[in-house]
Amino acid sequence: MTLNLKQKNSDLIKTEAKRLGFLSCGISKADFLEEEAPRLEKWLNKNMHGEMGYMENHFDKRLDPRKLVEGSKSVISLLLNYYPEETQREDAYKISKYAYGQDYHHIIKNKLRQLQEFITEEIGEVNGRAFVDSAPVLDKAWAAKSGLGWIGKNSNLLTQQVGSFYFIAELIVDIELEYDHAVTDHCGTCTACLDACPTQAIVEPYVVDGSKCISYFTIELKNELPNEMKGSFDDWMFGCDVCQDVCPWNRFSKSHNEPLFNPHPELLSMSKKDWEEITLEVFQKVFKKSAVKRTKFSGLTRNIEFLK
């Protein structure tokens, strides 16, 4: 494919991504992630994935999209903003902002499907697969490789323009496109995220021990919560945003414009007492299509009990 055609197709894809509401779009060559391989291996060997056994599966596919999608040549990375206009009241048990509205998997999958259809209509028969946090794909690594930001000391993707409150998704396709370049790291000497983490899960700059993270305890861990962690969850009952909330780059976060990410009104008005008395009926109403359903009513009430 000629350079001009690759550039033209890349521009078409990025323009359509913008039209569909994505914050930004970057493209990189589908190749082996050389730098990430030893990092991932070391992280797994140190058991920093805790009981998330699935992290050990498909090691090769995680590092090489060509093993995941046959014939793939390009990884199209996309960001979708979820920063809310309003947050929960001060005297409430907290849930991560990404879970305020409807489950992002369905919303983003739908947008990716539209983007795929557009590519087929405009460029021709292009084969590929869409991924939203649901397969062995190192989302942040691909987004960084595609120039959408850098991976910060809290291991989140950061951008100077909009911080880090966004979802990352990919389309892995079998055509060559014009590739973007990684941007430089702008964390500098800042250690705000390391200093603020309630459970010291950020064990060193750029390394998060997943098995110590509040998100892991409140979402992934299915057994009883460990007693030694009592009093260190900082009122988080589902996920945790501390390392993002304190990041200086997030002062540039702007609220999203996706109505489906807006929370149920009751979510923002509930106090600690309301959460402690939550019924299954209220849970089903407030979190009707939310990612909070992952932890189920029993999981959420277990977490609230632990915080009391």
Residues with active-site annotation: 133
| CA dist list (Å): 2 to 9, 126, 128, 227 | 11, 17, 21, 61
Q: Return the beta strands (E) in 63-149 as ranges.
A: 74-81, 94-95, 128-131
298 HSE (CA, 13 A, CB side):
4
CA dihedral 136, 198, 274, 276 (to 10 degrees): 90
CB < 8 Å & 24+ apart, contacts of 266-269: 267/88, 267/95, 267/100, 268/86, 268/87, 268/88, 268/89, 269/89
Instruction: Give the pair of three-digit tokens for residue 173.
Output: 């396709």
Per the CB < 8 A criterion, the answer to whether 75 and 142 are in contact is yes
Strands 236-238 and 94-95: parallel
Q: What stretch of H or E contains 25?
A: strand 24-29
Q: What is the DSSP string of 170-199?
A: EEEESS--PPP-PPPP--TT--HHHHH-TT
Do 154 and 193 form a contact (C-beta atoms < 8 A)?
Answer: yes
The token pair that represents 195 in the structure block: 């200093």
Residue 92 CA: distances (Å) to CA of 266, 267, 270, 297:
12, 10, 7, 17
